[in-house]
Structure 1
């Protein structure tokens, strides 16, 4: 029987995180939010919505928050998979559920979300070009034929999760994670997902400038 944990990093997400958690818990009862130094009451909102909240005393970045959440979920001896899920409302719980089912079926050890496997995600041409370039760089560096290397919706089985050790705290953590996966050589697949870009999610880091920062970290680190 699957016992998936949803790991949600958050930083000043009080505006939307309660609704995100409520939707997630209709399918997955085990939710841990990593409060990465919020100052807007996000922890209280997350707890009221039914999530476990683990707090960082200061803002350490998304990579550190993900590693904290993974470590917390691994403490549950019955945990079978971990889903990384953004707090800003851009991910669909239906996509996460379908990805977990692919883990449960034994098809793969890792399922990685991709916004480029179908036409649901509405994305501007410049941002598309930047993310495609990032995916190309990742393929050249790792040999993994990814179409979307910077998608935050992912599912790992327990064995893979136990071998993830993120040290890059900010956007570079996504590239570090792909590199670690490539070294593990697990069974992996991409899964088509829809990313929902709202004014809020763009303001929280989904802008074109943020995509350019991704490229800068890829090529300059």
Structure 2
């Protein structure tokens, strides 16, 4: 097993039915995985632990932003940690994409690599409404435009310790993605996009997102791009 300096952060909430398989797949390549159980009411933590992950538990559900921040804080405190990745718990992300993003990061000219699902057209099984919302969010955010991003709400990210040490995510819910983009601009971190494949499985599609969440993403992308910190 290689990549001993890499830590994969997996935020999870009520993912007991899939988290073991996801962690096992990640650990087939990366030894160091920390799963943050964000107040799950099922066996998420036990399944992640059995699959070999380090597990940190929130006693109550705080939201994905808070779970990612907890995971990054845990990972950056580990000896030798130099590269960090955020990876969804529901099976949508692919390990091979993480490998390509790490290779891009190790070229040394960027601090953070963000996945984009729109490099070769919209993904299979993505609804028109979701595509419109995500692409509009990137256009409306001045921070995303400054960085030239096409997919600011992609949960697959790879970054160096400079970014890990500087990240202080305060927006607990899904709006954390817009906050991360704003922090990249404010801290003058060098960013690049990397094409990735998102697997919209029956399971992930069954979870879905309310339309209100999409509206909030659009509003937040617009607002975060314009408000000084």
Q: What is the TM-score when the length of structure 1 is the normalising length?
A: 0.93
Asked whether 1:121 is paired with 2:123, we answer yes
1:27 corresponds to which of 20, 26, 29 = 29
Determine the structure 1 residue equivalent to 2:180: 177
Greater shift in the superposed pair: 137-146 or 19-28: 137-146
Determine the structure 2 residue equivalent to 1:9: 11
Distance 1:209 1:201, change over 3 A: farther
Q: State the 1:139 CA deviation.
A: 3.4
2:189 corresponds to which of 186, 192, 201 = 186
How do 1:1-221 residues align onto structure 2 when only pairs under 5 Å count? 3-119=5-121, 121-122=123-124, 123-139=126-142, 143-206=146-209, 210-219=213-222
Q: Write the distance in 1 (CA, Å) between the matches of 2:216 and 2:42.
A: 26
Q: State the 1:142 CA deviation.
A: 6.2
Q: State the 1:211 CA deviation.
A: 2.7
Deviations 1:150-206 (A, max 9, x none): 000000101111000000000111111100011111221100001111222123345
Q: What is the TM-score when the length of structure 2 is the normalising length?
A: 0.90
Determine the structure 1 residue equivalent to 2:227: none
Greater shift in the superposed pair: 87-96 or 207-216: 207-216
Deviations 1:106-156 (A, max 9, x none): 232110000011247222222211111100012367622110010000001
* Contact kept in structure 2, 1:171 and 1:217, CA below 8 Å: no
Q: Write the distance in 2 (CA, Å) between the matches of 1:217 and 1:188.
A: 21
Aligned length: 221
Instruction: In structure 1, list runs of 5 or more residues that go unmatched.
Output: none
RMSD: 1.9
Distance 1:49 1:82, change over 3 A: same
